[in-house]
Amino acid sequence: MAKIGFIGLGIMGAHMARNLIKGGHSLFVNGAYPVPEDLTKTTTVVANSTAVAQAADIVIIMVPDTPDVANVLFAEDGVANGLAAGKLVIDMSSISPLDTQAFAKRINALGADYLDAPVSGGEVGAREASLTIMVGGPEKAFARALPLFELMGKNISLIGDNGAGQTCKVANQIIVALNIEAVAEALLFASRSGADPERVRKALMGGFASSRILEVHGERMTKRTFDPGFRIELHQKDLNLALDGARKLGIALPHTASAQQLFSVCAANGGKAWDHSAMVRALEIMANFEVAQAPGKEAKAA
């Protein structure tokens, strides 16, 4: 069994860590960050990220954004200062592909391998060990990490060299955002027309419009369960990566931009910590109509 360092025990990271423990691995975690109570009893809590890297053979990082990864890796008490030749760093955060390539080069220079392995599937996927994992990096390092990935996910793919996993995740987030927008518009249309949006959702699940977004997030929209999940502010961060990348590539992503604007409406109305399915709230504000209200009755969405 491997000695694993795990840094970033948030909504998803905590579940991922628990699944690694269920697989029989020993975990070392950074006590400078919040550690869920149950994990304080099943892991070894050490002082900082350097100590995590010193104790572990493989270090997994699961934090919100590019600057957070940079800090975990290269701060004075960061992972890099605890690495030795032959160790492996796996960043499972969703961050900039270009910065990922630079991080990998700095870690490789210390004699350690680096994988970028962002995930999709949200809290449910993390809890149920059914995440999709998109990996960039050397094949040998991927083969070493695969048994760990299999404890956390189901659909696991090596996409290419370092940065390719993050590029794939950005593409994933474009698709997810646009699908949320499509489901939100469809359910708003159905509800405002007088149909029961939940019955419409269930009917569509049997047709060509069926999708995981319609199944899970469509139900969140009709039942008004907007606790994250995956926070709007994090999806905004991912779409910023997409739009910044598009500018550098000289391409247009018009519908990605419109989805980002809808997320911005939510954030401006106090919703940056809502689940990203709450994009529907932006459309409801503009329509002055709420998807979940009883057919035939009108009420303000706000």
Catalytic residues: 169
CA 8 to chain centre: 12
| DSSP annotation of 293 | S
- Rounded distance between C-alpha atoms, residue 91 and residue 111, angstroms: 17
Half-sphere exposure of 280 toward its Cβ, with a 13 Å CA cutoff?
32
| E strand or H helix that includes residue 232 | helix 232-249
Strands 58-61 and 3-7, by their bridges, are parallel
3-state SS string for 33-60: CCCCHHHHHHCEEECCHHHHHHHCCEEE
Which tokens sit at 165? 């996993």
3-state class of 110 per DSSP? Answer: coil
3-state class of 116 per DSSP? Answer: strand
User: From the CB of residue 249, how many other CB atoms can be counted at a distance below 10 Å?
Assistant: 9
